[in-house]
A = this chain, B = another copy of it.
Amino acid sequence: MSDLVPALRAQSGPVDLSAIATDATPGFSGKKHEGIDALEALGPDLADLQERLFAHGRSGGHRSLLLVLQGMDTSGKGGTLRSTVGLIDPQGVRITSFKAPTPEELEHDFLWRIRKALPGPGYVGVFDRSHYEDVLIARVRGLAKPEEIERRYDAINSFEEELVEHGTVVLKCMLHISAEEQKERLLARLDDPTKHWKYNPGDIDEREHWPAYQEAYELAIERTHTDAAPWYVIPADRKWYRNLAIGHLLLDALSSFQLGWPAADFDVEHEKRRLAEEDPLS
């Protein structure tokens, strides 16, 4: 296991995000160019391990991986998809981006739409935002009553425990940036006409609730950081470190399956003969 993985794992008990430097590089002492090279170097192992998982999924296996990406606007969920998730064969990846719930989704329990998007056997599922929005924006914006938010923490823990029991590794990452870094990134979007589409005036409205969001994250992490489905807090002011960190977490999760290649459930020599001798097209 890489040094990064234990360094990023959330502590049990109360969480103080302000005590975690957003520009730190825990578990990695190299510079930026070394971090970029280190991520690229993970590519072959990630590809090999993901293919084993996919192969087992095709062969009756029941394991899967769910990567949950949470973070404030501009924290780099999209960049993580491109730079780190993009290292994995897209054939085995299923990404779901969760927006504000639709009227139909609002008629159901908050986990309804989440269950429909879970990765099937052998897949790496990635949630760009997730059921955690239902205890984050829902708390900050008062979209649900406090007792409902409390119920949801427990519901999430039961849900994730159930996923893990059924063979899914649940990898929850909070991309942790500073308010100053967000401001710079928002200004950069405003300064570049090719990035205006990424900007929404509502982003500043949300930004005004920054302290409340940090508190909501702290509470959510504290209440849902379990042995079955732990949280990782990723310092994300440095994009290269964020990408490398998620790469190591994915590699660690895929390694934990300890999968070889599925054994043939057919007679290999017999099939070779069928193909060589009995083939009507020969």
Contact = CB atoms under 8 A, between A and B. Distances in A.
A166 interface: no
Interface in A85-107: 85-86, 89-91, 93-95, 97
Nearest to A272: B190
A228 to B, nearest CB: 27
A141 to B, nearest CB: 17
Interface stretch (A6-14, A19-27, A30-38, A196-204): A196-204
Within the oligomer, what is the number of copies of this chain? 2
Interface string A177-216: 0011001001100100110111111001001101000000
B95 A271 contact: no
B261 A183 contact: no
B261 A55 contact: no
A89 B95 CA distance: 11
Interface of A: 55-56, 58-59, 78, 81-82, 85-86, 89-91, 93-95, 97, 128, 179-180, 183, 186-187, 190, 193-194, 196-201, 204, 207-208, 210, 261-264, 266, 268, 271-272, 274-276, 279-282
